Chains A and B, each alone.
Chain A
Amino acid sequence: MKCGVVVFPGSNCDHDCYHVLKHVFGFDTRWIWHKDEDLGGLDLAVLPGGFSYGDYLRPGAIAKFSPIMKAVARHARDGGKVLGICNGFQILVEAGLLPGALMRNRSQKFVCKNAYVRVENADTPFTSECGGKRVMKVPIAHADGNYFIDPDDLGRITDNGQVVLRYCTPDGEVSEAANPNGSVQNIAGVVNEKKNVLGMMPHPERCSDPLWPDLDGQLIFKSLLHCA
């Protein structure tokens, strides 16, 4: 599988994604600079976490105008896979490639800790290894992860199976207490209609290297490998 990690000015999880794709999974992985204008035949484009353009104005608001984003949009339109993690998710919603918006956390504070998410739809290229409402323990680290979507659109994406991840308790119960940031209906990750673009706030790359005991993030990358 050919992968690219897009580097925006201010990306800071780019090395982590690159490390996991290349060294843990052995994928053919390269860097993509934000000023580039094409993705050069990739299977998967990863938009990593960080603070592109300092998150100034709104997270993702300025990055969506980077030259590379036109290529990402084309890639997505043609069925190529795009994974946006954290700031990458914020960029994808700002660019209109995913529905909704990501607002300031309910607590007003940055939060970095392990969270539990339940896989709501295993019928996507990103979650095919996560059947049976699989619960994953994945770290979150963000100040703007509070997912918002208006009620009509919420109904639509829910019916389409576009809600892929919801925050839950370790036992898989989707409850207010398990919601770390105020996201509507505990939504932690969504896909587009064609299900080839996933945006998620949790960081699967932070729990994929076997040096650590928690490895649930591998499920996302294994699913991608399985589909490729």
Chain B
Amino acid sequence: MLAKIHVTLKNGVLDPQGKAVNSALNDLGFKEVRNVQIGKYMEVLLDGVSESEAQKRVKEMCDKLLANTVIETYRFTLDSSKK
């Protein structure tokens, strides 16, 4: 089971990196760019767990370590075709 996890900054938390990339894209002529959010993408390969267990365990991993919930939010998907 492969958990694909996206961690991004919460709404309202300034993302200086996103802001810098936003203005760089605008400078390059991509005038349509209105907002850039930069986050982290992680892949966690799990062994011997069911989908519902994995749901629970990955959520725990995110809350405990993978995201800092003071500033970050996360979402993830599970891909059971990978092992």
Q: Which A residues have a C-beta under 8 Å from some C-beta of B?
A: 57-58, 61-62, 65, 93-94, 100-101, 103-108, 146, 148-150, 182
Contacts and interface: CB of A to CB of B under 8 A. Distances in A.
A57 B66 CA distance: 7
Given A57-B65, A61-B65, A65-B65, A108 B71 contact: no
B39 interface: no
B interface, how many residues as a size bin? 10 to 19
A104 to B, nearest CB: 6
B65 A101 contact: no
Contact of B16 (A62, A100, A182): A182
Interface string B2-30: 00000000001110110010000000000
A182 B65 contact: no
Contacts of B13: 103, 148
Given A57-B65, A150-B70, 20 more contacts: A58-B68, A61-B68, A65-B65, A93-B70, A94-B68, A100-B70, A101-B68, A101-B71, A104-B16, A104-B17, A106-B16, A107-B16, A108-B16, A108-B17, A108-B20, A146-B16, A148-B14, A148-B70, A182-B14, A182-B16
A9 to B, nearest CB: 16
